Chain A
Amino acid sequence: MTLIYAGLSLGAVYALVAIGYNIVFVASRSFNFAQAQLMTIGAFVAYTGHVTFGLPAIAVVLLAMIAVMLIASIEERIAVRPVADHQTQLITTLGFGTMLTGIAQLVWGSQPLDVPFVGAKGAITLLGGRLYTFELGLIVLAIVLVVVIHLYNRRMMSGLALVAMSQDDEAALLRGINVRKLAFAAFAVTGLLAGLMGFFIGPKTFAVATLGSALALKGFVALAIGGFGSFYGGLAGGFAVGLVEAHAARYLGSEFSNLSVFLILILVLMIRPTGLFGQLQERTV
């Protein structure tokens, strides 16, 4: 059970990355490859808030969320909006992410920083296994976020509009939806959430400048397994990657953990090329 918890909490981190990818993907059919780096910055800001300034947890969360939202807004303006097509955005967002990694290294150095969590980093016993409180927090956060986003996309008009945009942005424009504004809002919200996520992942992964690239890859695998655009898929994909990684490391040796993850990815894509929850979208013209 302890091993499963370890896998699930690691998987929750990947699922959070996948959620970030998905929000931008749904809103603009493009990927924000700087998503994991945004989360990393969130973890660093959380560290600074906790350790350097000694702020209370709630203030730390708000600080991380606002800081990362601002960075994401800047990214949208300089790396997304001026770039017309989605393929090129893959490069510009990746470049922005690389820049963030570099800046993080300059500001916070290259040593991993231990980010504190709410209260002490205590372990609890649950259903015959042990896990840290921050690990439980990660799992709960990932699930709650996915459920909330799903409900938002089904119930709120702006959520419906986002899903509509992802299918046909011109048709959405003709229904009076301000497509550009909504795409920007989605970007800002991913930044806000990345800050929140950074607060939660920091205690698990530590804040380290290279964290971004490691998370980006696994988060993308989680997304591909789950299916692009599917939030439940991203959650399932994240947990699957985490569980496989944890079990492979335990039973086969840590050198096999990455290998097994990619093996699972290849298997899933061979059987269901659109991912577990993905849908093929045709469009008549």
Chain B
Amino acid sequence: MTDPLLTVEHLATGYGDLRAVWDVSFRVWSGRITALLGRNGSGKTTSLRAVAGLNPVHGGTMTYDGRPLESVAAHRRVALGVSYVQEGKRVFRAQSVRENLLLGGYSLKLRRKALESELARIYDLFPILHAKRDDPAGSLSGGQQQMVAIGQALMAKPRLLMLDEPSGGLAPSVVAEVMARVSELKESGLAILLVEQAVEAAMDVADHVTVIDIGKVVVNSPVHEIDDLEKIKDACIGR
């Protein structure tokens, strides 16, 4: 197996001095999807925020592309290829879809003209966004806003894409479409870290699964070695 693009080992993090994650390790490979699962409050989002640079690291290491990530400022991590799509479709609601996508490419440090030509990549992936390009992002449906959020992240030409609950609040048919797009992105060589409540949908597309509970890893395995999905579901729902 090739070296992982991102290796997180014994991560301890939280909000300010408040500790939410004690000892979490996971790895993400280029061209593969790692699903990070766990029940509400288990520390999934907190871990992603630490990788993105939003939360302070209290202990452990994060190695990205062979170098430590902890000392890199959050806005510079984007330029290194780390893109984080937050939970809850955090698009810039008052700005148009096109402006949202352009902002996604901010870290490329290109002139606006040059960025405009990058938009085609995203419109190919999500044709509906081309039709809605001049509408305020806040006026779009939930699924379309999720596409804007993912499109923004892709504009930055990431190598590592972290998706936090991309299926949250979406209709089942839309979830299927979003997951299909996520699989396509994997085929293009992206390393994807997927956080999901929808365990089955995530397991369908994932290559590797890490389950955490109360800030610690309880399952860490390639998906094809998992014979009992119920065990994973139990750990995620907390029966």
Contact = CB atoms under 8 A, between A and B. Distances in A.
Interface stretch (A5-13, A90-98, A156-164, A200-208): A156-164
Contacts of A255: none
A171 B138 CA distance: 14
Contacts of B92: 163-164, 167-168, 171-172
A260 B156 CA distance: 52
Interface residues of B, number: 32
Interface string A167-199: 110111111111100000000000000000000
Given A160-B103, A164-B103, A171-B90, A178 B95 contact: no
A178 B102 CA distance: 16
B146 to A, nearest CB: 12
A52 interface: no
Interface string B85-104: 01011111111000100111
A160 B84 CA distance: 20
A160 B95 contact: yes
B86 A174 contact: yes
Interface string A129-166: 00000000000000000000000000111001101100
A1 to B, nearest CB: 38
A171 B86 contact: yes
B185 interface: no
A173 B94 contact: no
Contact of A175 (B93, B94, B107, B111): B107
Contacts of B79: 176
Contacts of B91: 171
A180 to B, nearest CB: 9
A281 interface: yes
B140 interface: no
Nearest to A168: B90
Interface string B27-66: 0000000000000000000000000111000000000000
A282 interface: yes
A127 interface: no
Interface residue range, chain A: 20 to 34
A176 B93 contact: no
Contacts of B106: 157, 161, 175-177
B78 interface: yes
Contacts of B121: none
A88 interface: no
B198 interface: no
Contacts of A107: none
A285 B88 contact: yes
A87 interface: no
A167 B53 CA distance: 20
A173 B156 CA distance: 13
Given A170-B54, A174-B52, A179 B75 contact: yes
A284 B89 CA distance: 8
Contacts of B102: 157, 160
Interface in A235-285: 279, 281-285
Nearest to B108: A176
B74 A173 contact: yes
A119 to B, nearest CB: 39
A163 B75 contact: no
B103 A161 contact: yes
A283 B86 CA distance: 13
Contacts of B115: 157
Contacts of A168: 90, 92
A179 B106 CA distance: 12
B52 A281 contact: no
24 contacts: A156-B112, A157-B103, A163-B92, A163-B95, A167-B93, A167-B94, A170-B90, A173-B54, A173-B74, A174-B52, A174-B78, A174-B86, A175-B104, A175-B106, A176-B76, A176-B106, A177-B75, A178-B73, A279-B94, A281-B94, A282-B93, A282-B138, A283-B93, A284-B89
Given A157-B106, A171-B90, A172-B92, 9 more contacts: A171-B86, A171-B92, A174-B54, A175-B104, A176-B78, A177-B75, A279-B94, A284-B88, A284-B90
